Amino acid sequence: MEIIKTKDIKNLQFQDLYDFFYSLPSHGFRDFSKDIKTFENEFINLLEDPKYGFLFEYKNNKIVNYFLIKNEDSLKRSIIMTYDYNKIKTHISEIKEFTQSNSLEIGIRNLQKKYVKEISLFSHIRTYNFMKLNRNKLFNKIYKENFISEEVEHEQNYSELVKIQNECFLDQYGYEENNLSDFKSEIHNLEKRKIKSFFEISKVRNNIWSGYTWTQLNLNNFEGKLSMCGVKKEFRNKGIAKPLIVSSINRLINSNCKSISLEVDNENIPAKKIYDDLGFRTYSKLDWYNVKY
């Protein structure tokens, strides 16, 4: 097992890395692109981010397994992703060398759970649904009394967008408070991969921001993503989420988006109902577990 750093990867190795990940089914908290150039950009971004670390296991000079680790120090946890879950116990010392004293959590796709031999070593936390919508027809706009929604340009509203994102999500499981520098960096890294960001906010008549969405459009394949949708606590249960979501989806459709994906907490019944009503269908589920080592 060895730790791969940015300086250790040569251009020729990317083909091997790509071939390895391309052959794997969906199995963790993220999917890698099947487009080799996009994959390379994604991979480099992860290697250059100090929050992330990679461990690769080789046999006969071929990659046979890996661990992707993300440290979320403000939450005192680290999340890990691997294809062979049964290797965690074997390599726990190498993993903890990177995660230090953080607790460990892992996300496992529902179709991969049958390959876990020691499921008793994992304690279930919650489940997320991966949903997708294929649609090229606009939704009818929904009007909500006393609330309006509008697109905002992130270049002129970085601080306000970070503020409302934190206000909407700080009480949500697994959310790590964002800062201005990381927020800008995330958008710029997406732009490097030709992924365009759109932001919409809802506000009350006195211009107070009440909720927001962050959608993304991959300009390489015109696949879209509803990356975030949140409403500030004091404005929840007032029916403003659905009009905001519809407006955001319509913006993607107007940009020639072919499909839209999202992730939603299985316990968030109101959000699941909105997505079901709009035609989103669950294509995979991700179970989060504490790793008991």
Per-residue pLDDT of the chain (293 residues; tens, 9 = 90+): 666 655 676 655 788 899 999 999 999 999 898 888 888 888 888 988 999 999 998 888 888 999 999 999 999 999 999 999 999 999 999 999 999 999 999 999 998 988 888 888 899 999 999 999 999 999 999 988 889 999 999 999 999 999 999 999 999 988 999 999 999 999 998 998 899 999 999 998 788 999 999 999 999 899 999 999 999 999 999 999 999 999 999 999 999 999 999 999 999 999 999 999 999 999 999 999 999 87
CA separation for the pair 128, 211 (Å, rounded): 22
CA separation for the pair 213, 191 (Å, rounded): 18
Q: Which residues contact 70 (CB under 8 A, 6 or more apart)?
A: 51, 52, 78, 79, 80
Q: Determine the angle formed by the axes of helices 180-192 and 36-48, rounding to 10 degrees.
A: 160
Task: Give the CATH class of 137-257.
Answer: alpha beta
| Per-residue pLDDT at 197 | 98
Residue with tokens 């004293």: 101
Q: How far is CA 158 from CA 151, 172, 207, in A?
A: 13, 21, 17
| Per-residue pLDDT at 61 | 81
Going from N- to C-terminal start, the domains of the chain cover 2-126, 137-257
Whether the CB-CB separation of 203 and 209 falls below 8 Å is answered with yes
How many Å is the Cα radius of gyration of the chain?
Answer: 20
Q: Of 81, 62, 59, nearest to 70 (Cα)? A: 81
Characterize 8-22 residue by residue with b for buried, 16 or more Cβ atoms within 10 angstroms of its Cβ, and e for exposed: ebeeeebeebbebbe
| Per-residue pLDDT at 3 | 64
Look at the domain 2-126 and name its fold: Aminopeptidase (3.40.630)
Whether the CB-CB separation of 249 and 226 falls below 8 Å is answered with yes
DSSP 95: H
